[in-house]
Structure 1
């Protein structure tokens, strides 16, 4: 029963931005400043859900992404708009969820999250706010071409924090570095 309830909780939200972020239309983000106007160098988004995340210049807040607590987009690269989303899922306290549980269920649910096959091409354990977190990279076909998802997730107090970066395969190194810096800036409160 524990695994079923956790699967349901994760399936209903933790990874859904994998597919939502890549298909989000560029009309929804706030309009970036015109040339010559003052721009924000960087912002730190702080959520009442217990985290903050730092976003450098060049990323624009993206409104109303289903299932995401916050989302940011960068300039389009071809037909794909690079996107960062943060999803927070609460799991009932009696389930006592672990990072290993979350990882195993996320891997099991990958085939159902995309019509195209997704492949994990990298995975490692890192530290976020002194807690173990899993950072992985997946590739697959998305709307508009080959897509790379870089994702970090961790657990604190039965709350699952998932930050996802979506970029086209072959994106410039600077964009990947900027996006990864956003993910690893995730700070739990």
Structure 2
């Protein structure tokens, strides 16, 4: 098996176990057992649980980094802000297991280096969807648009209906918030 595939399998299984029993209660031994590999084989790829988590964050947040770089290169217009939200929703959907883990393990994530870098990304993203001269109520609308995408990604799965329609509805509400801020 190629190194990349083994590394990916380790990350996937670790994320499953972190989700099932919590990051703190999961050991490298348990990850190795579920993968049916030796602990030494696991150490070849990752020395610690935090290394696994850092690898997951790097793989799954790369689209977020690319989005931030893209948005910085665009004119600061309403359409750019709207497209930033559209692209962010896609990134969220692709990384749902990691974001769910973060939501359910906020205290742990805050203590890890990945928590700080994620917080920095979120602050940068919220800056990109608003203007410094916006009134406070409009800044709240812009930040709420991002968190509408978060809530929609994770909580709408418990709501009856077609998944695609739900994603479109969540995006529509987020875009409405952004547009209200622009027109206020």
TM-score by length of 1: 0.32
Which structure features the higher share of helix residues?
A: 2
Q: Which structure has greater strand proportion?
A: 1
Larger relative contact order (Cα-Cα within 8 Å, sequence gap ≥ 6): 1
**TM-score, with normalisation over the residues of structure 2?**
0.33
Return the index of the structure with the highest Cα Rg. Answer: 2
